[in-house]
């Protein structure tokens, strides 16, 4: 099984292409790959419960592992308790783990 680490650094409200990146995550998952969507920088903003980003919710429901960089969350005053269901706060170490494990890692 192929493993993908997709790093999403942009807020979909400022960059419409971000939702295409979310769809890539879903398509890879549907195709049988192990996929993690790692939200970082302004990419963590739609992870807030209440941001109501339908495309990101679909990523969560597809079975893609969705995580948010805890440092980026702290920078933006987003608490762990404010994250939408299915999204966890994690360390950036997760990306280095994926690189070391050989996951195909893509930055957006």
Binding stretches for other proteins (CB under 8 A): 9, 40-42, 71-72, 92-93, 95-96, 99-100, 102-103, 105, 107-108
Least separation in angstroms between CB 48 and other proteins: 18
CA distance 20 to 29: 14
Least separation in angstroms between CB 75 and other proteins: 8
Helix (H) or strand (E) holding 104: strand 104-107
Minimum CB distance to other proteins smaller for 24 or for 62: 24
3-class DSSP state for residue 39?
A: strand
Minimum CB distance to other proteins smaller for 58 or for 105: 105
Minimum CB distance to other proteins smaller for 85 or for 93: 93
Least separation in angstroms between CB 61 and other proteins: 27
Minimum CB distance to other proteins smaller for 88 or for 99: 99
Cβ(11)–Cβ(45) below 8 Å: yes
42: tokens are 């302004």
Q: Measure CA 101 to chain center.
A: 18
60: tokens are 């969560």
């Amino acid at each position: 099984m192929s493993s993908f680490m997709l790093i999403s650094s942009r807020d979909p409200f400022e960059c419409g292409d971000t939702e295409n990146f979310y769809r890539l995550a879903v398509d890879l998952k549907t195709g049988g790959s192990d996929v993690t969507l790692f939200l970082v920088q302004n990419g963590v903003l739609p992870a807030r419960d209440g941001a109501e980003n339908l495309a990101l919710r679909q990523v969560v429901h597809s079975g893609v592992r969705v995580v948010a960089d805890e440092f980026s969350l702290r920078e933006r005053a987003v608490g762990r308790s404010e994250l939408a269901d299915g999204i966890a706060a994690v360390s950036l170490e997760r990306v280095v783990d994926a690189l070391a494990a050989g996951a195909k890692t893509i930055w957006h």
